[in-house]
Amino acid sequence: MGTPTTERNALIAATALAVLLAFAGIEPAGAQGTPLGGTPEGAAMKNPVPATEASVAAGHGIYLAMCAACHGEKADGHGRGVGDYGKRPANLTLPQYRYGTADGDVFDVIQNGIEPSLAMPAWGDTISETDTWHLVNYLHTVRKAQ
């Protein structure tokens, strides 16, 4: 047997390791909830709005008006309201989104939101389907290539 000090230090080290391993499992901002990737329905849904300069510009305007407060002006998850809901908003510049990057998946999240505990509201009653597609086109321009 070791000395009480050695045993105490071993217990402290084991506890610290357990805490470290527990926190190592925490997912990055915007990655809470479900497995990475979208749905077959989202992958099959095609954007009816061509990604023209005008569409992307319209989407950018909608983004600034409706999304930037939480997701940040640069879409990096650092918006003004970042601490208001207890969870950090998704960083939309990442190459993958938690709920899929296909046009239909992004459209679905914007229109229908994400479970209430994640604080992403459904915008379907506020943002028209056409404007949501403009927003999808804009978000493709801020997402980093894989």
Confidence band, pLDDT 50/70/90 cuts, at residue 57? very high
Threshold 0.85, pTM exceeds: no
More confident residue, 9 or 68: 68
d(CA 75, CA 64): 9
By CB atoms closer than 10 A (0-12, 13-18, 19+), residue 100 is: buried
Average of per-residue pLDDT across 136-146: 86
Where do the domains of the chain lie? Answer: 31-142
Give the chain's radius of gyration (CA, Å). Answer: 20
Amino acid present at 2: G
CATH topology of domain 31-142: Cytochrome Bc1 Complex; Chain D, domain 2 (1.10.760)
d(CA 57, CA 29): 26
d(CA 94, CA 104): 17
Structure tokens at 10: 């071993």
Write out pLDDT tens, residues 76-122.
Answer: 988 887 666 667 788 999 998 888 889 999 999 999 888 766 678 88
